[in-house]
Amino acid sequence: MAHLTFVHNARIWGKPQIKERLMSKKKDKSDILSGMGSGFQIIKALRDAGASDDQLRTIIANGSALPDQIVALLKGANDESQSGGTYSVTIDYSKSLAQMIVAGKYDYANPDIVEKNFPIQRPNASEGDIQSSGNPYRTLGIQNDNNTEIVLVHLKKVVTTTEVLAHMDKLGLRPARIEELLAFGEKYPKKQLEFPIVALGSVWVYSDQLRHVACLDRNGSERDLNLDWGNPAYAWSEVCRFAAVSK
């Protein structure tokens, strides 16, 4: 039986912070809202959508442009909730998984992240080869070239794996696979120092009850390539980003 090695840095990033964020949120009352009378519900909705006091003051002060400003503000808040940014990567399919990991120059790589557990899905793989991986989350179909756009999906709240995948599907995205995550980590090494980046598209089914996915994380100033839980009901911290690719 394979030996599992876990350093749950995603929990270090997120779990202790959840309580702090929830506690601080109760105190985060806008001074604009406290003095509002007419239009309170509209302004409150904008505030809940992420508008700052400065943005609310601008909207209130420029009544003639109110509709356009509200639309722009809501569109920006919606776009930000869907995506934490888009990044171009090039995947070298001539490399083995081990070579991809070495190219990323990680300070730590979980020893269970090997090609036996996380097979690379290469462009010429047949549908049968894809399905034989046992990945319950994988969407059939892959990029035909080596250039891919990685989208970092950020939902800004605690969400389950199932909820993340459903959200991606609505956006026309599929979860990134291990080779796409590693290409991202190689090209953008400092991003994982800002927040954990999870790839739900490659799943190691260790047993009926245990599913594991790869995550770019950190331990202090060190860059880690680690494992985290991939079970459908697993709750991810609000700080996590989920790597995704267009279907």
Reduced to 3 states (helix: H, G, I; strand: E, B; else coil), residue 2 is coil
- 230 with 193, same domain: the answer is yes
Model confidence over 5-15: pLDDT tens digits?
333 444 434 33
- 109 with 213, same domain: the answer is yes
- 211 with 94, same domain: the answer is yes
- 52 with 143, same domain: the answer is no
Select from 24, 48, 82 the last residue of a domain. Answer: 82
Model confidence over 100-125: pLDDT tens digits?
999 999 999 999 999 999 999 887 65
Select from 35, 60, 82 the last residue of a domain. Answer: 82
Select from 48, 82, 116 the last residue of a domain. Answer: 82
Percentage of residues in the chain with pLDDT exceeding 90? Answer: 51
Number of domains in the chain: 2
- 94 with 129, same domain: the answer is yes
- 116 with 147, same domain: the answer is yes
- 110 with 89, same domain: the answer is yes
Total-model pTM: 0.63
146 in Cβ contact with 92 (< 8 Å): yes
- 93 with 69, same domain: the answer is no
- 139 with 158, same domain: the answer is yes
Q: Confirm whether 5 is domain-assigned.
A: no
* pLDDT > 60? residue 37: no
pLDDT band at 209 (very low <50, low <70, confident <90, very high): confident
Residue 171: domain span: 84-246
Give the alpha-carbon dihedral of 131, 88, 224, 93, to 10 degrees: 50
- 100 with 134, same domain: the answer is yes
- 144 with 22, same domain: the answer is no
Q: Give the whole-angstrom CA distance, residue 118 versus residue 80.
A: 31
Say which residues have a Cβ less than 8 Å from residue 73's Cβ, sequence separation at least 6: 46, 49, 51, 55, 59
- 166 with 148, same domain: the answer is yes
Model confidence over 89-106: pLDDT tens digits?
999 988 999 999 999 999
198 in Cβ contact with 241 (< 8 Å): yes
176: closest CA among 79, 91, 77, 80? 91
